[in-house]
Amino acid sequence: MNKLIKISILIMIFAILIISSWTLYQGAKTELIPRKVLFGNPDRITVRLSPDGTKISFLAPVNDVLNVWVGPIEDPMSARPVTTDTDRGIYRYFWSYTNEHIIYIQDKAGEENWRIYSVNVGTNITKDLTPLEGVNARIQGVSPKFPYEILVALNDRVPELHDIYRVNIETGYRKLIEENEGFAGYMVDDDYDIRFAYMMTADGGYELLEPNHENEWELFLKVPMEDSLTTDPIGFDKTGNHMYMIDSRDRNTAALFQLNLKNKDRIILAENETADVDDLLFHPTEKTVQAVAFYYDRKHWRVLDEEILQDLTYLKSIADGDVEIVSRTLDDKYWIVAYIFDNGPVQYYLYDHMKQKAEFLFTNNQQLENLPLAKMHPTVIESRDGLNLVSYYTLPLNSHENGELRPRDPLPMVLLVHGGPWSRDIWGYDSQHQWLANRGYAVLSVNFRMSTGFGKEFINAGNLEWGGKMHDDLIDAVQWSVDEGIADPDKIGIMGASYGGYATLAGMTFTPEIFACGIDIVGPSNLVTLLESLPPYWEPTIELFAKRVGDHRTDDGRQFLIERSPLTYVDRIQNPLLIGQGANDPRVKQSESDQIVQSMEEKEIAVTYVLYPDEGHGFARPENRLSFYAVVEAFLSECLGGSYEPIGDDFKGSSITVPTGAEYIPDLIEELQKLDRLIGENESQEILMIKTIIRTRLLCLS
């Protein structure tokens, strides 16, 4: 009897332990990382040194808006803001060679008519260098030989073409130095001489032309369409007599060459059998290439200059992340080194090149440092026709045993599709991967054919394959995830922006049985109207789109594009779809989302449409990002069953509107009404404008 009692007690203890362990597991599984941590502003990013090494700069928020901060190199924490943006934030800037000016670019509400600004870091006086409405400005050249002047490309004369101006960064005075005769772009040297011009050819390639003594243009070299995305002149050496080129002609992967400009002889400096050149490390004054990076599944540096071998060896020993050298002083005494991790924030170090000693500065987001972040796993998936698709997946913590690369049981999964499509997914910290994994989803990103970095054959395998073999690659990757026990085949969502948005719409229409839901962000629905409405300054490169996407200028081409357009197959949509769009998008116009939403409504197919009146091609304002991801999270929870953080105050300060379908998202109508009441308490002109928009939206919902 005593033995039976002991056994019963042991069984009870064992059961309690199991229940406790399961409760702890479930608790860990549902402990949510706040969206504001994952998608809000970072603490500091884009760290740079002034050319003379006396100052350090970075982007950091001021009243929740990213601005440029500057401080002494010996005391970075005493930095103060030198810009005063109060709207979208600054994302791209650099030091001028005066060491007293920061140059940055900014647009309005996402329309990409960039303006260039100069700010004196001593006086905080900001100068608009391109005060022109409806004009797209580009930085053409910066040189230490002319510290107070930069070259700027402006399409102020002809919208399709950019002329070259010389601009004084203090006074704003500009002088036209090259009137564009029809070129896609130019290449200049440190003397501000125009050395070459790019001309697109009818086959989708380009010619590099050089001026002669009679001010005429002569052919220097020709790049066929097959090499146009993997061949590019990079810059000149110190003498100006040699040019560095990333070149895939007569080979598959793009290698680094040095080209003699007098006799056109070239020598190869670095190559890799599986990956293109990804990054170069130049000496700041000698203009020699000191190291080359290749990126297959991870970034790997190859040293060309033995003088920095010890430096890179030492830097690699400091941390286990991928090494990025993001800034160097002209005398090469100081470097800013960034370490990229998959499960933690970026770490910034100040490196004393002379002493070969690195000093830790800060991370880009301190709130991430102690969070339970997941690892990102590189893998190679074989497509049905034998291509190697370099991919990355992330699993929720506690969904698998330590060291195991597969979950205990198949999980709901989100397929994240990158934009471009001429870009690629990489390894490292990814806020979307971390967010979705934390909510209980497996996450998969696939470098489908047409992605860059894997050789020209891989890119060209995607020509005219939008919605064709490019989509097949995604489906093959999904099948791999099911076969490997990662994904539950009944709970797979697809999500992406730009081309990724198109891929989402293609997934919901071409293969509707595969995906339980889709999230399309600024994705084209009609390839004909997409190509007809590209920004005018993209016109010089139209042959690139015609040869690689389809030619909307011919009857056969238009028919082909219609067949590859998700809009054509709206009636096939059978599962929930969420669409996000910026009203000022110059690349994928609002009409691309409007027309598919309208078609779905006419066919009485449910859709939720989120529209931002102050955004363009993507959502730049943190308030808008937070609001959109709050909607996405609720949407995915409803479709796939993952965890869901309540919207809370994540709509605060956002311009979010929902013209249709709010009723399909949990709590969305209530949160929009709360936002309307909040706006009613703040009657500024800007708020009144948004209030009018939201009232219109609510009328549409009623």
3-state secondary structure (DSSP) of residue 463: coil
Helices (H) and strands (E) in the chain, counts: 14, 36
User: Where is 335: in which H helix or E strand?
Assistant: strand 334-340
Give the integer Cα–Cα distance in Å for 30 and 384: 37
Tokens of 427: 């390894």
What b/e string do you get for 260-294 counting C-beta neighbours within 10 Å, with b at 16 or more?
Answer: ebeeeeeeebbbbeebbbbebbbeeeebebbbbbb
Catalytic residue at 617? Answer: yes
Give the integer Cα–Cα distance in Å for 537 and 669: 40
Cα torsion through 110, 112, 113, 119, rounded to 10: 80
| Catalytic option among 327, 498, 637, 654 | 498
Amino acid at 611: L
Give the DSSP per-residue string, 555-579: HHHHHHHHHT-GGGGGGG--S-EEE
Sign of CA dihedral 61, 63, 69, 73: negative
Tokens of 324: 């990025």
| Catalytic option among 585, 599, 627, 654 | 585
Q: Which residues, 6+ apart, have CB-to-CB distance to 385 below 8 Å?
A: 469
What phi and psi, each to the nearest 5 degrees, are found at residue 336? -105, 125
| Catalytic option among 162, 242, 400, 617 | 617
Q: Is the peptide bond before 284 cis (omega within 30 degrees of 0)?
A: no
Residue 241 near residue 263 (C-beta atoms within 8 A): no
Catalytic residue at 498? Answer: yes
Catalytic residue at 471? Answer: no
Give the integer Cα–Cα distance in Å for 358 and 350: 6
Catalytic residues: 498, 585, 617
